[in-house]
Structure 1
């Protein structure tokens, strides 16, 4: 069982357009609505891989009810915490060439009582889980320290925890020594306060996060691959990708693959890379199933190419 926590979930509405003309009345050629939010995406990927998962999230209004229903349609139990505000709705506009324009809503403001109810739900469910994955941005009303408290609560319940967030929330969570943190290259650069130009720079930044409390760092480096830095060493993984269709949710698929494979060591890194590579070759935010994975396309090594320049260096 993998429990996910999404403090700011969403309904994701996607409209496919023949063209994006500002100031015009646009008619969609297709549209769809899907459950969204980083932790929700991890649950979707875990379920697609055939594993049990429960999604904890604040849910409010008819939007929250629909989100719970959509999760159920995917075989995912929604452990929803009722909140006064309505669950946010995010909009994605897709042009024929694959260009995405996203409009992400702020989401409801969470009260102190609702925040405590979220922690209580995690505490009650964490004892029966192998991993807790808390992912995404914090909604209004939750301070950065809330993630640190969540890590502490999960540890008291005897669960291992993975954190995928950024900025002050990630910085605060490090103090409670999460088993895994999963930044991308931009988030890694932000939290250490310096640019990353090479894979070696990313390794040093990941080591800094371990010095500050993270027991392992799984870092997504976009098209360059992924890094795992833990107590046993540093490992680099990459995969051949035929064609990129959408990178939406690819990092969440990677984390799901990593945790489902045990969440430690080079074998779990290989699973993370395989899931991420499969996800970018699928449309929209579709999560890979076992038949989508190509383990033979994945390479992992302890001989990390430290001098290799990043395809997308961080400023």
Structure 2
């Protein structure tokens, strides 16, 4: 056991030396690069962005906002996409928070949903299609990294809207929260190495979890599941946890966000902020700005999806009351 741990620690040291700066609490790889970078470069290349849209069937609207925050690098990515699959309008939304560089998060943004909608069971067995797409995308990214001397990884928090089904999947500590009946509910679990089941899985695979400012896989990575992370792949898997919700009149909206938001804003606070804002782009910007004002030290990315069946039901109820 001692020999194995010594060898693991040696691998971890190689990982630290080779990795790009993440400047992120999720990993401790970036301090050398942060020393070398000039503080004058902050925000020179990366700016806050926002946008949004409405589905063709007018059943949902969406908005996003993303900012580097206090960071000199941007490793957050997002995707908001509406597609047609077998005559069905499908909404695809994701937040991807990179570490050890932006390569993994950018790759997942550009490939995960394309792999998913091409899956032969996307409509008939959406959960298994999502799980397959996550693992296939991870494998393909790792193959693409064969010639790299550096290591990169990414979280993913994604939501897929198919008919009256909302399927939320995640790896890592980006989070999904819904508002149903006026209350906040987390529909994803942050994957942290100190969770008893995650620690057991890592140790069963021959790895270890240790304290290094926070609990970390091998003393390096503060999330226990992620895309990429080639040198830790035996322990840091890309198997998503998937939760399904019914889209009905009680489901008001969904928030997907990187930990740049959740580090400083609770689930309940986020829902309370979004609730009175009908425009999801404005809601996403409100969350982003609040995280900045509260001193978030990370990149901040938020996606808000509003389910319009609830809004239409409320308007219909108001009209009936008025006419009565």
Task: Report if TM-score (shorter chain) is over 0.5.
Answer: no
TM-score by length of 1: 0.31
